[in-house]
Structure 1
Amino acid sequence: MLYKLYNLTINAGLKGELKLKKLQLLTLAQNQLTEIPSLGALLSLNYLNLASNYLKNLSDFNKLTTLRSLQILVFRNNQIRGNLPPSIGTFTSLKSLSLANNELNGPLPEEGFCGLRNIEELDLYSNSFDGSIPLCFSNLTSLKFLDLSSNRLTGTIPTTLFYRLSSLEHVSLSDNHFEGSFSFSSVANNSKLQFFELHCNNRMLNIDTENPPWTPLFQLNFLRISNCELNEPSRVMPSFILTQGNLRLLELSNNSITGRIPTWLLKNNSGLQFLSLGGNFFTGSFVMNSDHWFGNLYWFDVSMNEIYGELPPLMGFIFSNLVYLRLSENAFQGTIPPSMGDMRNLYYLDLSNNNFSGELPVNLIMGCISLRFLKLSNNAFEGNLFKSEWNLTNLHHLFMDNNLFSGKLSDGIMNSSQLEILSLKSNLISGKIPDWIGNLSSLEYLVLAENSLHGSIPLSFSGLQQLKLLYLSGNYLHQIPPGVNLSSLAYLHLADNELDGPLPSFISRLSSLISLDVRYNKLSGRIPSWLSSLTNLRTLLLKGNSLHSPIPAELCQLKNTSILDLSFNNLSGKIPLCLCSMPFGEKKPLPIDGTFSSNIFGWSMPRIVAYEYVGLFGVLDYPMATHVSISVSENVQFLTKSRYEDFSYSILYFISGIDLSHNKFIGPIPPCIGYLSDIHSLNLSHNYFDGSIPKTLSMLKEIESMDLSYNRLTGEIPSELIALNFLSVFSVAYNNLSGRTPAMVGQFATFEKQSYEGNEFLCGMPLPDCGTKNTKLPELYDEGTNDSFIVEFQWSFLGSYIVAFLSVVAYLYCSPYHSMLLYEFFTTRFRTCVSPFRRR
């Protein structure tokens, strides 16, 4: 130690002035302090730790200004807000200052920091400092550790910042808002530099590593440059990396770098442990041979590039100690090399979105016993799933969707008893859903959609008490046992199946349900009143069934619903007024988020920190000990802006709408619909609504799509609608509207005649001018769009004609006197007509 230490740890009850004049080290961390204690008498104090308390401001910072001998000051992990007082510069002996993980804001005070001439460690990580980096930082010539990451700093990075900082070892400038350009040659002479990190938040910073030509005097252990504009416009790989042989961690992701995949990086850096090159434009094949072995590498990510060809046959030997392997979103092809089964330490494997084919090698499903995450989505893998050799006993998350797997599901997957996510969407799987799936009691997310499964949901699903999302759409399921009990289910998708009869009653017990999608089945009967018991329901999609009768008033009790789709049914009657009391569009927090997130394991990009005590800059080794998370979003399809779109729940939080189209609703449109001020989409088309368009619809200030076409609406289009500034789709076509169209201002200037056609007495731009006589008969309905209405009209007319004719016959039969008069009338008329012909 540098000093003879007198260590003291005290509790939150510290009061008054401490009088231990020889005290040099004082730790008050994690003592729930809400203000800085008075320590004026500790004139020999050189270490003060106030980390992890409840300090909220530095208004009493002057209590410390008498501690002239202070060398280490730690305020990390508090709740300090406001500006940093310039009096920080009075601590001229300070060597280490940590203010990380607070809420400090405002610019970095030059009169404060720039007075710290002896500072060696400056840690300002994770605050809200703004403005630019003070130029006087270049005068802090003793600086070894500088962390300004995760703030709101702006402007350019001064080119002179590093010229005089010859002692620098660690620099982190990530997650700010820098812009302009930065020449990496400015650090060329920092011979002690080992750690450099710069992740760009906004891609407004161009980093040039090539001009002017330079030769680095440093040997980096850690280099991270990501999400930046790197070497524009050439986008070449930084050439100085060729001179770096001590790299242990290298990340150059999301920089749009071009050129061949740099396999030389691995050959030049035998000690490399972490390599991330994802999100670039690297191309070429992945060529390795038996002479290559990278046993120290445990993190390898080249996803989202343009790499093609097959994986090396000895992949499992070359990268035998990998923990994390991500090759997704490239153009790899061929089969998975059987040697990958030798990667026994592999936790995370993502080969999705490539052109891989063939069956899964037995070695893989038997040998990779540490796998917790396996993603093979969007390839052309084939064969039967879950063979008896399946031995991935630690697997938690399995994605095999959008492949060509076929046959029935076998129970080999039961060896993965800890499975939380199972996604087999869009394959060729057939047969019934097996009972044994109900034994995977840890499942939270089950996707078997778009296969050829038939039969019913097994009663054994009641064993899936952790299940939050069940996605079975696009199969041939026809029944759900009423006894199924899924108490935790939040998202249920059963669309595009063959369910018939009333809405399955087991749904009435799903008290946690947030989204229900049973579109395009054969459901019939009334909308059940028990839907009102689903108090958390946000999305109700009943489209494309044979439901009939009016909307039940109980449906209005769904006080959290934001999307309601009842279109393409046989519903009738008037819109219940209570529908206007439903909270469409009100942004309430979800009880269960639609994004499934889970920590996979404790490996990730590290944040390197310095020791907070003597030996100040013994930087912690690169432990990579945070977390990797995966997330799965729950999607809902809904008609808006005249097209169906998939919305994840992160978007659905901001989207709301009502679709009652293609039914048999009658009566006027309730004016109270206009009170749903937050709604984004309203579709009432293809019904029998009559009366005028309510002026209150102009109150729908968030509306983007409004379709009132194919009804029997009359009167004028309210001119007040031109105030709808976000309206991008509007149609009142094929009604009986009259008068002028709304003025072509704002959004209404974008609507063409298709929005208004089929209204005989409607005129004005974009229709013919009102001074021009329009003799064309209105086309009330497009051909084929309302055949059922035309047929009903024809049968009604024929029936009326027959009834009238029979009524006349019956009357004449019952009245001989009038029958005789009618006979004489027709006889006289007949003789008058034929007499001229007889005379000829």
Structure 2
Amino acid sequence: MVHLQELYIGYNDLQGPLPPCLANLTSLKQLDISSNQITGNISSFPLKDLPSLKVLDISNNHFQGQIPMEIGTKLPKLISLNISRNFFNGSIPSSFGNMTSLQSLDLSNNNLFGGIPKHLAMGCFSLELLDLSNNNLKGKIPRWFGSLSHLEVIVMANNKLEGPLPKELCQLNSLMILDLSMNDISGSSPSCFGDLNIIQLHLSRNRLQGRLEDASYINISSLVLLDLSFNHLEGNIPSWIGELSSLGYLILGNNSLEGKLPTQLCNLRELRMIDLSQNNLYGKIPSCLDFTGLHEENGNDTNEYIISYLYNIPFRSEESLQFTTKSISYSYKGRILKFMSGIDLSCNKLSGEIPHTIGNLTRILTLNLSHNNLAGSIPTTFSNLKQIESLDLSYNNLNGKIPSELVEIYTLSVFSVAYNNLSGKTPERIKQFATFEESSYEGNPFLCGQPLNKSCNPVEPPLLTPGDSTDNKEDDGDFVYMDIFYITFVVTYIVVLLVNPYWRRAWFYLVEKLMVSCYYFVIDHLP
């Protein structure tokens, strides 16, 4: 088929090396053999015989060895190159700088090491997507990234990159996704990010420092996802957070943030997921937390439109987001983000009552308020959370009864109110609540009922049958009890005298005095 221009054989079960006869397809423009079990070394494949190739996708196979230099020199018309999810090692070839038409480069999920070659900036002027994630790349983030003005997606997560974020990143006016999570990046995030149109910003699991107030994202009205978790950020949650009108996912957990929850959080009407856990936040939970994005019917499709637009760009990149639900940290990726929702305020110092308005967030899937100082009762409005799967209110100071209406929630798989001051009877063991064990309720001394080993009915003394024998037994029992009393009294008396030497001497002195008095009394009164 010498005139064949497009060949798609991906997502099959093809095995073995690439056949040399593919080199006969000199008219081939697009070749997709992704998601198979093809092995071997791609350097043995005659790439020089495919000069018209524009799209090459060999991802998710079992290729190994180094990336051949010929890719950059023999494929001058290449627009998209995807060799991710293989076993390539070595460094990124400097010849990639010769691909002046290249728009998408995905080298993720391999064993590449070394630095990011400067040659990319010398020739890849059309580059729109660069994915180098899940490798062993080292060094600083190059400042020359600022010269790649067409970049829309930069993903370099889970490497060993270090140093501060270069301010030259702020020159990328087309940037929509920036993912540098799980590296060793230090310093603070540039305040100039507020001048960009970023939709997703992933900087979690680094060593970022400074006060969050100093990093200004106030002008990023397009920002849908902000993940700064697992860093060393300090200070209060800034008031400008309320200006991020499109924000749907706010992940700031595992930092050193302090202060009260700002009421500006209530302006985030599109919010679907918020994680502020493992910080030093205190004060009350604002009662105005009534996000439209977590309403079953009232929410609009702003976030869905933005995410849909984002993932329909010519070169798709599905970024993951870590969120803890059901006591396990899960990774949510790509379009699935719009189906995930939750609130995690655990492990802080929050106090006051739980706002009953949280019960209006009917689309919520997980709610974690554990390990705080919350008081008051559990709102009965929680029975409106018909889609919730995980509800954790443990380790607080909640009191009162557990609302019986909670048994109407059929989706609940994790439930815990352990270690509070709750009282009364546990919810009826029906439907989902029949699956919750003692660990869901332990640590509440005034709580009773199954599955706790504490009955809610007081134990009554056994009734005695009337009769003469009963009276005799009671009399015999009284006699036995009196004998026991006398014996116990005498033994205790003797023990006290033997143990305490002062009382022993006093007792002997008294006995001696009584004996002398008795002797003289007898002598004086005998005739």
Q: Smaller-chain TM-score range?
A: 0.7 to 0.9
Shift of 1:406: 1.0
Determine if the alignment matches structure 1 residue 553 to structure 2 residue 263.
Answer: yes
Q: 8 Å contact 1:382–1:406 — kept in the other structure? A: yes
The Cα of 1:306 is off from its aligned counterpart by 2.6
Q: In structure 2, what is the equivalent of residue 148 of structure 1?
A: none
Are residue 592 (structure 1) and residue 302 (structure 2) matched?
no
Question: Retained in 2: the 8 A contact 1:394–1:418?
Answer: yes
Aligned length: 459
Q: Give the Å deviation of 1:648.
A: 3.5
Aligned in 2, Cα 1:386/1:481: closer, same or farther, shift over 3 Å?
farther
Counterpart amino acid of 1:487? L
Q: Which residue of 1 aligns with 2:230?
A: 520
The residue aligned with 2:70 is: 363
Deviations 1:188-218 (A, max 9, x none): xxxxxxxxxxxxxxxxxxxxxxxxxxxxxxx
Closer/same/farther in 2, CA of residues 719 and 421 from structure 1, 3 Å limit:
same
CA contact (8 A) 1:661 1:685 kept: yes
Structure 2 match to 1:348 = 55
CA distance in 1, matches of 2:501, 2:375: 53
Per-residue CA deviation, residues 248-282 of structure 1 (Å, 9 max, x unaligned), is xxxxxxxxxxxxxxxxxxxxxxxxxxxxxxxxxxx
Match of 2:176 among 460, 465, 468: 468
Cα distance in 2 for partners of 1:506, 1:315 equals 56
Letter in 2 for 1:835: Y
More off after superposition, 465-474 vs 382-391: 382-391
Deviations 1:571-625 (A, max 9, x none): 11111222246653434323522543245xxxxxxxxxxxxxxxxxxxxxxxxxx
Q: CA RMSD in A?
A: 2.3
CA distance in 1, matches of 2:334, 2:116: 30
Q: Equivalences for 1:214-233 in 2 at 5 Å?
A: none
Question: Matches of 1:421 and 1:326 in 2, distance apart?
Answer: 18
Q: For 1:606-617, list aligned pairs within 5 A.
A: none
Match runs of 1:531-680 below 5 Å: 531-580=241-290, 583-585=293-295, 586-590=299-303, 592-593=306-307, 595-599=310-314, 630-680=315-365
Distance 1:389 1:544, change over 3 A: closer
Identity, % of aligned positions: 42
> Cα–Cα, structure 1 residues 364 and 575, in superposed 2: closer, same or farther, change >3 Å?
same
Distance 1:389 1:519 in 2: 34
Give the 3 Å change call, closer, same or farther, for CA 728–369 of structure 1 in structure 2: same
Q: Aligned partners of 2:300 and 2:320: how far apart in 1?
A: 18
Output the amino acid matched with 1:327: I
Give runs of aligned pairs for residues 390-789 of structure 1, distance below 5 A: 390-414=97-121, 415-479=123-187, 480-484=189-193, 486-503=195-212, 505-580=215-290, 583-585=293-295, 586-590=299-303, 592-593=306-307, 595-599=310-314, 630-768=315-453, 770=455
2:298 maps to 1:298: no
Matches within 5 A, 1:316-395: 317-336=23-42, 337-388=44-95, 390-395=97-102
Q: Which whole-Å CA distance do the structure 2 matches of 1:297 and 1:695 have between them?
A: 66
Per-residue CA deviation, residues 206-239 of structure 1 (Å, 9 max, x unaligned), is xxxxxxxxxxxxxxxxxxxxxxxxxxxxxxxxxx
Give the CA deviation at 1:329. 1.6
Q: Tell me, yes or no, if the aligned pair for 2:155 and 2:179 is still in contact at 8 Å.
A: yes
Check the 8 A contact 2:242/2:264 in 1, yes or no. yes
**Aligned position for 2:525:** none
CA deviation after TM superposition for structure 1 residue 838, in Å: 6.5
Q: Deviations over 1:731-773 (max 9, x none)?
A: 1122222221111223222323322222223222323362588
How far the C-alpha of 1:709 sits from its partner, in A, is 1.1
Shift of 1:389: 6.0
Alpha-carbon distance change, 305 to 391 in structure 1, aligned in 2, over 3 angstroms:
same
1:835 corresponding residue in structure 2: 502
Q: Deviations over 1:91-149 (max 9, x none)?
A: xxxxxxxxxxxxxxxxxxxxxxxxxxxxxxxxxxxxxxxxxxxxxxxxxxxxxxxxxxx
Provide Cα deviations, 1:7-59, integer angstroms capped at 9, x if missing partner.
xxxxxxxxxxxxxxxxxxxxxxxxxxxxxxxxxxxxxxxxxxxxxxxxxxxxx
- Give yes or no for contact 1:556–1:582 (8 Å, CA) kept in 2: no
**Residue type of the partner of 1:402?**
N
Give 1:434 shift: 0.4
> How far apart, CA to CA, are the structure 2 residues paired with 1:418 and 1:455?
27
Distance 1:338 1:310, change over 3 A: closer
Amino acid of the structure 2 residue aligned with 1:467: L
Letter in 1 for 2:113: S
Deviations 1:131-174 (A, max 9, x none): xxxxxxxxxxxxxxxxxxxxxxxxxxxxxxxxxxxxxxxxxxxx
Please give the TM-score of this superposition, normalised by the length of structure 1.
0.52
Code of the aligned partner of 1:381 = F
Per-residue deviation, 1:489: 0.6
* 2:139–2:161 contact (8 Å) kept in structure 1: yes
Structure 2 residue ranges without an equivalent (≥5): 460-499, 509-527
Q: Give the secondary-structure state (helix, strand or coil) at the position aligned to 1:522.
A: coil
Does structure 1 retain, via aligned residues, the 8 Å contact 2:130–2:155?
Answer: yes
- The 5 Å alignment of 1:134-153 reads none
AA aligned opposite 2:58:
L
Specify the code of the residue in structure 2 equivalent to 1:759.
N
Q: Structure 1, residues 393-429: CA drift from partner, whole Å, max 9, x if none?
A: 2111111101111111112212121111110001111
Higher helix share: 2
Secondary structure of the equivalent of 1:579? coil
The 1-side partners of 2:319 and 2:443 are apart by 40
Q: Summarize deviations over 1:334-373 as a string: whole Å, max 9, x none.
A: 2112511331111211111112111111112111112111
